[in-house]
């Protein structure tokens, strides 16, 4: 029941994002296409949903929206035998976390770059303001994921797509030590996809 109530808040937020030209239904594809633009940088955050502080959201969102977010979030969590009051708005798994996170990041990014786009915690922003954007986000407790953030770089990554200025799109996967036959089959399939790609 709580998830359904959370989604009643998320749906209008999705419509607002769509009206702002940041449609989450096609956001991943938009980000993959935007990687080819040499003027952009890609920014990603570590533990993004945990960084979305309730106090920041309440101060930045209209009162009628933040009151619904506060009403439908989980106000406490049970850790061992103790109840803890979290400072974050909500975790992933909450019905509105993704939309709220996207909207908060987009609102900050658009102040600096009116063409910025955001999908979850994946941000594409003009390189000339990317460092300023990361500093502002750091000021409100968001931690940049340096392994997945590429500012003024020939290489860019967003929404699982990889692009290098000299090579174009790159097929790329994480590889982990194979513990069983299923792991081995997954690794071989990844290698096959890479070998069939058009990048030498």
Q: Which helix (H) or strand (E) holds 2?
A: helix 2-19
Predicted confidence at residue 191, as pLDDT, reads 92
Are 128 and 136 in contact by the 8 Å Cβ rule? The answer is: no
Phi-psi domain of 123 (left: phi exceeds 0; alpha: psi -120 through 50; beta: other):
beta
Query: What tokens does 9 get?
Result: 């808040």
Tokens found for residue 148: 């997945």
pLDDT of residue 199: 63
How do the pLDDT tens digits run along the chain, 200 residues long? 889 999 999 999 999 999 999 999 999 999 999 999 999 999 999 998 888 899 999 999 999 999 999 999 988 888 999 999 999 998 888 999 999 999 999 999 999 999 999 999 999 999 999 999 999 999 999 999 999 999 999 999 999 899 999 988 988 888 999 999 999 999 999 999 888 876 66
What was the pLDDT predicted at 200? 60
Distance between CA atoms of residues 193 and 190, nearest Å: 5
């Amino acid at each position: 029941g709580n998830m359904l109530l959370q989604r009643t808040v998320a749906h209008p937020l999705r419509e607002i994002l769509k009206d702002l030209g940041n449609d989450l239904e096609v956001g991943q594809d938009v980000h993959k296409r935007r990687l080819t633009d040499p003027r952009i940088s890609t920014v990603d955050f570590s533990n993004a949903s945990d960084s979305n502080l309730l106090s920041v959201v309440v101060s930045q969102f209209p009162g009628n929206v933040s009151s619904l977010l506060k009403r439908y979030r989980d106000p406490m969590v049970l850790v061992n035998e103790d109840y803890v009051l979290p400072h974050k708005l909500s975790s992933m798994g909450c019905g509105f976390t993704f939309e709220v996170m996207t909207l908060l990041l987009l609102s900050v990014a658009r102040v600096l770059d009116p063409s910025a786009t955001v999908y979850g915690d994946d941000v594409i922003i003009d390189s000339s303001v990317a460092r300023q954007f990361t500093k502002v986000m750091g000021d409100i407790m968001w931690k940049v994921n340096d392994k997945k953030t590429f500012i003024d770089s020939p290489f860019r990554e967003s929404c699982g797509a990889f692009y290098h200025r000299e090579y174009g799109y790159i097929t790329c996967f994480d590889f982990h030590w194979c513990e069983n036959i299923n792991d081995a089959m997954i690794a071989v399939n990844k290698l096959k996809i890479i070998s069939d790609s058009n990048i030498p």
